[in-house]
Amino acid sequence: MKFGGMGLALRIAAMAGVLGMMAPAHAGFPDRPIKLVVPFTAGGPTDALARNLAEGLRQQLNQTVVVENKGGAGANIGAEFVANSPADGYTLLFGTSGPLAINTSLFKKLSYDPEKSFDPVIMIGKLPNVLSVHPSLPITNIKELVAYSKDGKQLSYSSSGMGSSTHLAGILFSSMTGADLLHVPYRGAAQAMTDLLGGQVQMSFSDVFTSAPHIKEGTLRPIGVTTVERTSILPDVPTFDELGLKGFDVSVFFGLVVPKGTPKEAVAKLNAALVEALKDPNIKAAMDRQGIIPATSSTPEYLAQFMASEIPRWRDVLKQVGYEQQ
């Protein structure tokens, strides 16, 4: 009897050892460097915010966080890379409106789906855009801009890429005003701004972070902010809503996602670390300088719900203007 009891105890101990060896790899997460993929070139607002958060994440997790820029194809290159990465929590996408909501309606063939290829981690916030023109143009308001473009002088506008909010703002603006605009996409906000300043393109619906310094220097002329509320970074620039385009609201949103199927424990740990990082006074101050409006909720579910509402919104807009998928 005692021997049988001892045998049972040994078997239980042995089983415990086997289960211990079978423990999931995420139990000690993270035990190696994390990669944060930015689907745009370095130098723009997305890259700047990502690098601030990478440092905050490093401090919270006590682990190296490497920012890797994979720009191009309307942010699809970076998004596809993350979608096809191992679902282990070690590769994150610093996503924006394009790959997380709009691209599915812009492109005929995508190797990823915003809702089916990713698990949401956290929404960071929104960044307003501002319509500005090269100072050489005789344009100071929307009415003059529309009239100028209809007088056989099609206006070219730069964007940070296909599917970006700076691209979609132009489509919506053109459909609401009848302005004749030519879209010129770039691989990122920095390159788009360089050509606007150089006069290679005439106007842009660029983000307020990239535009503000040039507007304040007088090298760009602001027309209006593309949201229903003014932005603190350009408080004297009126909104499109104030200028008569009621309900015009186009901004880029930022959200972090991981490959679908990532262990919930890893997602929860990443979310908790980012929530704490966003409380850091330095990160909060940096976001304020960039004109970013913080998200009202930090749960993964909030980002999932927001994406689910943005996808059909832009699908309907593109359908109404007869946009043909690329």
Domains assigned to the chain: 33-126+253-320 (3.40.190.150), 128-225 (3.40.190.10)
Does pLDDT of 6 surpass 60? no
44 contact partners, CB below 8 Å, separation of at least 6: 160, 188, 189, 190, 207, 210
- Residue 98's alpha-carbon distances to 86, 110, 253, in angstroms, are 22, 12, 9
Identity (one letter) of the amino acid at 23?
A
Out of 129-133, 166-170, 262-266, least confident range? 166-170
d(CA 251, CA 164): 9
d(CA 206, CA 45): 10
What 3-state DSSP class applies to 205?
A: strand
Does pLDDT of 178 surpass 80? yes
Which ranges of 112-250 does DSSP label H, i.e. alpha helix?
142-150, 165-177, 189-198, 208-217
What pLDDT was estimated at residue 27? Answer: 63
Q: Taking the CB of residue 223, how many other CB atoms lie within 10 A of it?
A: 23
160 vs 263, more confident: 263
Q: Taking the CB of residue 150, how many other CB atoms lie within 10 A of it?
A: 14
Out of 60-69, 195-204, 216-225, 284-293, least confident range? 284-293
Phi-psi region at 278: left, alpha or beta (left = phi > 0; alpha = psi -120 to 50) = alpha
Tokens representing 299 are 């749960």
What pLDDT was estimated at residue 160? Answer: 84
Mean pLDDT of 49-73: 95
Note whether 140 and 221 are within 8 A (CB). yes
The answer to whether the bond into 114 is cis (omega within 30° of 0) is no
286 vs 270, more confident: 270
What pLDDT was estimated at residue 7? Answer: 53
Tokens representing 24 are 């999931």
Mean pLDDT of 209-219: 95
237-252 tens-digit pLDDT: 999 999 999 989 898 8
pTM, rounded to two decimals = 0.79
274 phi, psi to nearest 5 deg: -70, -35
What pLDDT was estimated at residue 326? Answer: 77
Unique residue bearing structure tokens 């004109």: 291
100 contact partners, CB below 8 Å, separation of at least 6: 114, 118, 253, 255, 257, 307, 310
Q: DSSP letter at 25?
A: G
Does pLDDT of 24 surpass 70? no
Give one DSSP letter per residue of 219-273, joined into a string: SSEEEEESSSS--TTSTTSPBTTTTT-TT---EEEEEEEEETT--HHHHHHHHHH
